Amino acid sequence: MMEFVYLADRPDAVSLIAQWYFDEWGHLRPGTTFERVLDNVSAALHRDRIPLILLAVLGGEIVGTAELKHREMDIFPEKKHWLGGVLVPVEHRGTGIAVSLIGKIVEIAASLGVRALYLQTQQLDGGLYAGLGWKPYRQVRYKGLDVLVMELDIEHFRA
């Protein structure tokens, strides 16, 4: 059975999550170093306030992660709460882990009084998120990438 734990409760996993993020997205932003990613991950060791990172654990193995964070895109400073860092290793994709992580992050956000969440994705059709109730907000070119910014009214989330 899959369980969810805060990275704050598994600080031994900070390097692993930073490595996943660096390997998946580090090449997209020139100048990004593993140390910088490690610092960002380490800054999210919270349980009851944003930023926080959630882990999906199955049989003792970390099989996915997602973040609840503040103001991910500086071009939208008025958009305060963001879902980010949703990552499931290739060997565990297609099993519903990402959907479960997203659902749990939305639940945590709601418990913290968040009413709307935003995310950015390179899947310009909205991919997985479109099927979960996220709505396109705006397509933009951001830091050299074409991304779709999506928004979710938490009351309308469907996992």
pLDDT at residue 148 greater than cutoff 80: yes
For residue 6, give the 3-state DSSP assignment: strand
| Element containing residue 19 per DSSP (H, E) | helix 14-25
Cα 144–Cα 123–Cα 157 angle in degrees, nearest 5 = 125
Show contacts of 19-24: CB within 8 Å, 24+ apart: 20/65, 20/87, 20/89, 21/85, 21/87, 24/87
> SS in 3 state form for 45-63?
CCCCCCCEEEEEEECCEEE
For 10, other C-beta atoms within 10 Å of its C-beta total 16
Report the candidate in 81, 66, 71, 74 with the shortest Cα–Cα distance to residue 151.
81
* Confidence (pLDDT) at 146: 95
**Average pLDDT of the residues of the chain:** 94
Domains of the chain, first to last: 2-114 (3.40.630.30)
Instruction: For residue 32, give the amino acid letter.
Output: T
* pLDDT recorded at residue 117: 97
pLDDT tens, residue by residue, 85-110: 999 999 999 999 999 999 999 999 99
Full-prediction pTM beyond 0.85?
A: yes
